[in-house]
Structure 1
């Protein structure tokens, strides 16, 4: 017979201290802050760039090393086995200092709450030479029986079967005792001791590794398809991380697509609402509208919302169909939704209709910018093909035309941010802060449309004018994020 819980043996011998690891900084390309090399060290990106975020992209071996250092640290401080240290860390989100504090205050309570010890005193182990297994009901010698700290005895064959069934169901760190209503967890060393098949041991260790990473607040699996990279950061924030392997960009805090300035909880609500109301919003997904002047049907084939009718040459806004000549000063009204101040006193039917109207206002703009991003990708491919022809014809080199690709990249960056301002605005309370946000949102939208218009006509646009527009658009984007990004 063997009891798997040993709170004092196998602890590391070397002295260790718990400390946080510093991480290298992976920043997005900076298009505008061009300074002399002598000035670079004087600039603090965390103060100038609201999206600045320090993180590391780690491989599996690096992550295991990081986890093992924490395990050894706790194991040494509490004088417990590494296997039990992992159980404690998993249940307390790898907060070593918190675990040590609780252990010193009431070790027994900590072990019970972490499901290492049973809540009641276990019965004494049988001293009989032969024991009947409660599962297979086979009488076997006592040395073939094993138990956890709960003292529930089962034969080795039943333990092996139990573990293999659980692992095949994707369960690893949550495997508990086989006894009815027993919540005591099986630590890693106990499980591995009973698994003899290499394939099963490997599968178990893969699952435990995934559980450890998912439970660690400073670690996040890259959401890219089949990507092995794990992102590590001591800054647990809703900031953009970009995988060094597959180049997938995502929010470090929630793992979803990066969504600044919208908070993680808000974007989840928004995406759920969009999915639920998708059928209601289908009619606004059409790609065609009538020209407000000559009424001819027009299809949107670019990302820019500044439209020019190919028939009558009338310039108008795709979103509100207003005259573009007077649209520059009125763009604030186009992107803003006018709340009904008396809606609370209206009937339930009127309130429901107003709620749908408000949602469709923001959804249409959200969806429009999503489509514009895709259309502008097509514009970029056409631009690339035309520049290639020019280079082949001896009209400049690729370096001479590189500024156009920089402009297109910045446009995508700005439009992406603008797209995610609409869920933010939808859930904002009416008041001065929302008015300020919508003002900055409108200014950003106006500058993005100007930039998009110039890029689509890049071959006739003055380079200096285009680069000036790039600078204005990026400054509008940065200003909005500095004022409203939850940092």
Structure 2
């Protein structure tokens, strides 16, 4: 029930009318809220049912089971009748490698090796890879035109049509201004004919070939890094200034092995080769190794004047008055005929870690 007031031109609703209107609005709000909740629950249930019914397939590349909607369909790759078992991400990765490593007309399917069409590559690859593919297509198409030429400048990759052929040998790039001769395929040779320029180029090429042959004669490749090394003086022990590898100049043997094991590590046809003494001579008995270490005492006696030179020439002598000496048996008194290298190597093997001040070879 509406009431008008003369003091203030406003309408007021009675309490009865307000109560009825409020109840109706609340019931409508509850119904609307309930409807929205029901509608949202239905939206959640419908996709889940679709996902459960969607067939799944295992990718041949990544070996991951995925829904068929994540694999190429016949709309994207229309020229192929088989079902695709390579998922979209792996397919795109394959096309990226194909575009980078092959010609534009050799991009193939990863399963059947059929060449893909321009439209199929566009549907299956990314925009960035397709831009590279399209650029390769354009360059190949232009290169088929006999009047199209690329700029030979190292800093320019543009090209243009150059009508006239060899009758107009000077090519001037409209992008960078670089000039080159289309007959000689070289920078423009000012004040020279093509015949004169090519004659000079042939002469320089022949000189370069002779220079390379001389370098091969006077140098050898480093066994470590293959860089040519020239020997101008000094011994045959070489050290590469690049990789620091040490080797023999004559036979290229590793100097580390030579230093640790001996000269038998050289090649047998090398002038520095020496046979392995351990392989050539029998092993020395223990008492002879001790005999080699003994004469320090005998030498001290000689320095004191207790012995003279005759005591070292194999003649008989009386050793009873010598200090710190031991009697020698007949076998030990025999002269030793082993080479010094053999003796030193045998002593080092029998007495590792000992410092040898003097070794007597009698």
Higher relative contact order (CA 8 A, sep 6+): 1
Bigger CA radius of gyration: 2
TM-score by length of 2: 0.32
TM-score by length of 1: 0.25
